[in-house]
Structure 1
Amino acid sequence: MVDWDLVLISIIADEEESAQANNRNRRRFLVDNLWKERESKGEFNNLFNDIKYDVQKFYDYHRKDYEKFQALLNICRPYIEKQRTNFRNPIEADQRLSLCLRWAVK
């Protein structure tokens, strides 16, 4: 004899398991507008280009002059540079180094 209650329970369990698997495999790519506008409104793009020509301000900000910053960037660029993909634009190596130096100063 077939116990229909057990059959229904197993069918419901299978459906719930497949629904959970579908939810796990589905990814959401929600990016806040603040991060989308980072390239045009971000601190690095607005500030870095202005202070790189002012020797004292650049030194105060990074604790390094611009030439030494560029030399350090050339040394560590292969290690901190990320690959550009179809899904996202990575943070550039000079931005990464600037952020690192800025946080090391504080």
Structure 2
Amino acid sequence: MENLPWGVYLTLAGMGTVLALLVILMLVLMAVGRLDRSRTPPARPATPVPEPEPVVLAPDGLTDEEVAAITIAVLTHVRVRRGQAAPAMREVQPGSQLFASRWVAAGRANQKRPWK
């Protein structure tokens, strides 16, 4: 109980120091913000900038119907190929191996072993 005033003093000194440093940091950041805001914005060019030409999505020589047909063909090909490529990309058929890895095998062996 005799150390209680010293503990309270140390707590207040530590918390006061942290609060004072936070206030100083806030004042520094506010000053930097004011200095940054006081600069004049860059002058705009006097000559008007020409508008960029619109981008044409369809290549020359193709109508909108041809672009739509190509898009549908590509999307259909991607969908069909994705369904076909999934088994072709695998080394083994799913479920053909009982143990996927040594980690899985060790975990299953630990689960089947009775607890002592």
Shared fold by TM > 0.5? no
More helix per residue: 1 or 2?
A: 1
- Give the TM-score taking structure 1 as reference length: 0.31
Q: Which has the higher contact order (CA 8 A, sep 6+)?
A: 1
In our comparison, the structure showing a higher alpha carbon Rg is: 2
